[in-house]
Amino acid sequence: MKKETVATLENYVNTISPSGFEGEAAKLWKREAEDFADEVHGDRHGNSFAVVNRGGSPRVMLAGHTDEIGLMVSQITEEGYLHFTTIGGWDPQVLPGQRVKLRGKEGTLTGVIGRKPIHLLEKEDREKVVKPEEMWIDIGADDKEEAEGLITIGSPGVLDYEFTHLQRDLVAARGFDDKSGGFVVLEAARKLAGLNPQAEIHSVATVQEEIGLRGAITSAYGVAPDVGIAVDVGFATDTPMMDAEKRKVGDVKMGDGPILSRGPNINPKLLDKIQAVAAENEIPYQVVGAPKGTGTDANAIQLTRSGVATALISIPNRYMHSPCEIVSLNDMENIIDLIAFTVESIADEGFELF
- Each domain of the chain, given as residue ranges in start order, spans 3-68+174-353, 71-159
Strand ranges of the sheet holding 200-206, from the earlier edge strand across to the other edge:
39-42, 48-52, 200-206, 59-65, 227-235, 309-317, 259-262, 286-289
> For 71-159, which CATH class?
mainly beta
Residues 6+ apart with CB under 8 A from 109: 101, 102, 103, 139, 150, 151
| 124 catalytic per annotation | no
71-159 and 3-68+174-353 share a CATH fold: no
Q: For residue 310, which of 232, 256, 198 has the smallest C-alpha distance?
A: 232
Per-residue pLDDT in tens (0 to 9) along the chain, 354 residues: 999 999 999 999 999 999 999 999 999 999 999 999 999 999 999 999 999 999 999 999 999 999 999 999 999 999 999 999 999 999 999 999 999 999 999 999 999 999 888 887 888 878 788 889 999 999 999 999 999 999 999 999 999 999 999 999 999 999 999 999 999 999 999 999 999 999 999 999 999 999 999 999 999 999 999 999 999 999 999 999 999 999 999 999 999 999 999 999 999 999 999 999 999 999 999 999 999 999 999 999 999 999 999 999 999 999 999 999 999 999 999 999 999 999 999 987 665 656
Domain spanning 3-68+174-353, CATH architecture: 3-Layer(aba) Sandwich (3.40)
Pick the catalytic residue from 32, 200, 209, 210.
Answer: 209
